Amino acid sequence: MEKIWLEKSYPPGVEFEIDPDKYKSLVELFLKYTALYGDKTAFINMGATLSYHELAQQATMFAAYLQQDLGLIKGDKFAIMIPNTLQYPIALFGSLMAGLTVVNVNPLYTARELEHQLKDSGAKGILVLENFAHVLASVIDKTSVQHVITTGVGDRLGAVKGTLVNCVLKYVKKQVPSYELSNSVKFNAALAKGGKLNFSPVEVTGQDLAFLQYTGGTTGPSKGVMLTHRNMVANLEQSNAMTKQVFEIGKEIMVTALPLYHVYALTSNCLCFIPFGGTNLLITNPRDMVGFVKELAKYPFTAITGVNTLFNALLHTPGFDQLDFSHLKLGFGGGMSVQRPVAELWEKVTGTRLLEGYGLTECAPLVTLSPYDQESYNGSIGVPASSTDIRLIGDDGEEVGFDEPGEMWVKGPQVMNGYYNRQDATDEVLKDGWLATGDIATMDENGFFRIVDRKKDMIIVSGFNVYPNEIEEVIVSHDGVLEAAAIGIANDITGETVKLFIVRQDPELTEQDVLDHCHKLLTNYKRPKIVEFMDELPKSNVGKILRKELRQGKDA
């Protein structure tokens, strides 16, 4: 497919190609910019700050502990199972400096999910938030984990505030269930011990594994995506090439509500803002929307990443529309489709653009992004990032034409090495350097792409393809609807029919109201036949609506 987007739609200053070998590793990048921006604030969490100098110093202490005390060596796997706290970047960069491969773990995992990931990755050590240590304790004997470091939410907030926060969570809110993990070490004790040890620098190259980033497991047990240092360097260079005309050195505050253990925030927030000397404002509990908005009121934030559900929730939280948005430059939407009603309301309330992009774990994650000079939401996921090729493949195996749907195949330096210990799964999606994403998309004559839907989520009614994204966008355009999800259920006559799950904005909204709305805006075969109201929809750790769970629990 010809790269027509380069000449037609790339804005001024965006390079067509990036150098994926600009830094030989994330470690080289980290050491360069923490030295350059030493006095600038790298992270803020619950009022506490961490400068670039302090981050480098404490990451080195943690690396020394891992290396000299625990005896972990280059290539060993180290799991990090904590939310957005100051401990995360310290542990992340310390692990990478020690030459370890980071295994990011969702703290909300069940015992079954945690056991699978630890066994599959072969992790030898883990840093876990004490709130979830009881889950680890229930499975650790079935894994290869030999070393456990525990931490409390308040551990890096200072002696007084940190102790208070930890005591409230443990003794007042009862959020720390009892657990037994023999020989576990506290995070602050590990740092203190590491500070007395001499770290021996490790040679880390672009081909070394930086992350085993596990996918959500939509087609079975989750798989470890092998992302090298070169993959990650390439992707942050691609992301920065698309946005550097907007951001200023040392003047950016990125709102980081999405978890850093997820590849979206890991790259787009944590890694990408280091070359800018930017600040990440870490939100530990974004589900507390009122508290989230109060935190936003304290800082002149300039950018925010999120998913559609997060933006929608903020827009419907009292006080959000009263915030000072005068410093806000851009909002970045990804992880799931940004719906037009949400994007348009966001632009109306904040006075800024909400730029949609597209990515996936297997691409570290960025593939496409809306141009920085795009004035308003246009329903697309933008254009391919620098050094990225895309093909759209039809059912006949041939490339499709303009505005015709086809499966998106991606090629570029950000594409993963494969799935860890899963050559069979790797061979299914990697074909001569091309990654078959499983997403159905179209491309227009200017090189803008639009996601039609997930191949596996597509609903087929009487032989017609019905895409849940389209149905959901129509539904949420009704003022009485807060959130919606569409799935297909078996039907003896049509093969499948559309079922809707809705969270009401208006408690008086009825099924007939919804059906009448659909009748006006959707052709017959696309109209839902069943409507179910719910208090909330199942979501992933980043807020993506999980249609798979709705399908598993459907009452057809």
Convert the pLDDT of each residue in 290-302 to its tens digit: 999 999 999 999 9
Q: Across residues 31-45, what is the average pLDDT?
A: 98
DSSP letters spanning 333-364:
E-SSPPPHHHHHHHHHHHSSEEEEEEE-GGGS
Cis peptide before 365 (omega within 30 of 0): yes
pLDDT higher than 90, residue 235: yes
Q: Identify which of 478, 524, 536, 475 has the alpha carbon closest to the alpha carbon of residue 500.
A: 475
Give the ranges where 365-498 is alpha helix by DSSP (H): 423-429, 468-476
pLDDT higher than 50, residue 252: yes
* Whole-prediction pTM: 0.88
Q: How far is CA 174 from the centre of its chain?
A: 29
Q: What is the mean pLDDT of the chain?
A: 94
Q: Identify which of 483, 443, 448, 266 has the alpha carbon closest to the alpha carbon of residue 356.
A: 448
Q: Which fold has domain 47-204?
A: Rossmann fold (3.40.50)
What is the reported pLDDT for 309? 87
For β-strands 101-104 and 77-81, DSSP reports them as: parallel
pLDDT higher than 80, residue 1: no
pLDDT higher than 90, residue 311: yes
Q: Are 355 and 329 in contact (CB under 8 A)?
A: no
What is the reported pLDDT for 94? 98
| CATH 3.40.50.980 domain range(s) in the chain | 47-204
Q: Are 210 and 29 in contact (CB under 8 A)?
A: no
For β-strands 125-129 and 77-81, DSSP reports them as: parallel
Q: What is the pLDDT of residues 239-248, one digit of tens each?
A: 999 999 999 9
pLDDT higher than 70, residue 375: yes
What is the reported pLDDT for 207? 98
What is the reported pLDDT for 219? 42
Beta bridge partners of 213: 225
Residue 505 tokens, joined: 């904005």
Q: Across residues 511-515, what is the average pLDDT?
A: 96
Q: Across residues 403-413, what is the average pLDDT?
A: 97
What is the reported pLDDT for 216? 59
Q: Looking at the domain that runs over 458-552, which CATH code has it been given? A: 3.30.300.30
Distance CA 474, CA 471 (A): 5
What is the reported pLDDT for 445? 97
| CATH 3.40.50.12780 domain range(s) in the chain | 4-17+229-454
Q: Is the pLDDT higher at 137 or at 454?
A: 137
What is the reported pLDDT for 21? 98
Each residue of 485-521: b (16+ CB within 10 Å) or e?
bbbbbeeeebebbbbbbbbbeeeebeeebbeebbeee
pLDDT higher than 60, residue 556: no
Q: Which fold has domain 4-17+229-454?
A: Rossmann fold (3.40.50)
